[in-house]
Every structure is written in C-alpha cells, then in structure tokens.
Structure 1
C-alpha cells in the first residue's frame, strides 16, 4: 500500500464519519441552543432540562436516520474490503 492510497482511505474515513455523525451533532446543538435560550429567558437553571431534550432528540434522529447511517457504514466497509482484496 502506497502512502497515496493510505491518505485516500483516511480521507474517505473522515468524510464518512463526518457525514454519519453530523445529523445527530447538529440536531443536539440546535436543541441545546434552544434550551439554553429558554433557560436564560425564564431564569430556570435545572440541570436535567439541559440533558433530557438533547438525549431525546439524539435518540429520535438515530431512529429516523439509523438505516441511512448503517447503510453508509456498510457501503464504506464493503468498498474497503474490495480495495484490500485488490491490493494483493
């Protein structure tokens, strides 16, 4: 394996991991921001109020987009195994 091939595989790995994790991270970021604004406006500083909505939205996004995420991981793994078989 040349260094160019290794760098290409690392690039694909980083882009796939970014694409898979982005929906959950962005949705929890937006919910966290909304909860923070709500807490500032109402002066309600309850710790569970900041964690429960983020956890709930992360679960909802994982359930809704889980099949797409898993399909993307399986597709990447299959292409990785095909490229490994082609190297030898």
Structure 2
C-alpha cells in the first residue's frame, strides 16, 4: 500500500462519516434553531425545553435513516475488505 491508497481510504472514510452523520446533525440543527426562535419570540428561557424535542427528533431520524446509514457503512466495509483481499 502506498500513500495514494492510504489517502484514498481516508478520504472515503471521512466521506462515509459525513454522509452517515448528516441526517442526524441536520435535524438536530433545524430543531435547535426552531426552538431557539420560539424561545426568543416567547421569551421563555428554559434550558431544559430544548432537550426533549431534540431527543425525540433525533430518535425518529435515527430510526428512519438507519437503513441508509447501515448501507453507507456496509459499502465502506465492502470496499475495504475487497482492497484487503486483492492486496491493495
């Protein structure tokens, strides 16, 4: 294995992490901004108010995007196993 192979694997690994984490991060960000907007408009500054909606939204997204995330990780593992099998 040379430097190009290592860089290719690292690039693919970073891309897989970004794609797999994107749905959860985006939903958490949108829900957080929405709650912050509601808190600013109503002047309710309760810290714990942000946790429950975020947790519920994140759990729903994890449940719904589980097959997509699993397929992305599986595709990455298959590429790595094929490279190991063929000697890079």
TM-score range, shorter chain: over 0.9
Tell me the residue number matched to 1:10. Answer: 10
Runs of 4+ deviating beyond 3 Å: none
Tell me the residue number matched to 2:83. Answer: 83
Q: Which runs of 5+ in 2 are unaligned?
A: none
Tell me the residue number matched to 1:25. Answer: 25
CA distance in 2, matches of 1:84, 1:53: 44
Report 1 or 2 for greater relative contact order, CA contacts < 8 Å, sequence distance ≥ 6: 2
TM-score (norm 1): 0.95
Aligned residues: 88
Q: Which runs of 5+ in 1 are unaligned?
A: none
TM-score (norm 2): 0.95
Deviation at 1:56, TM superposition (A): 0.9
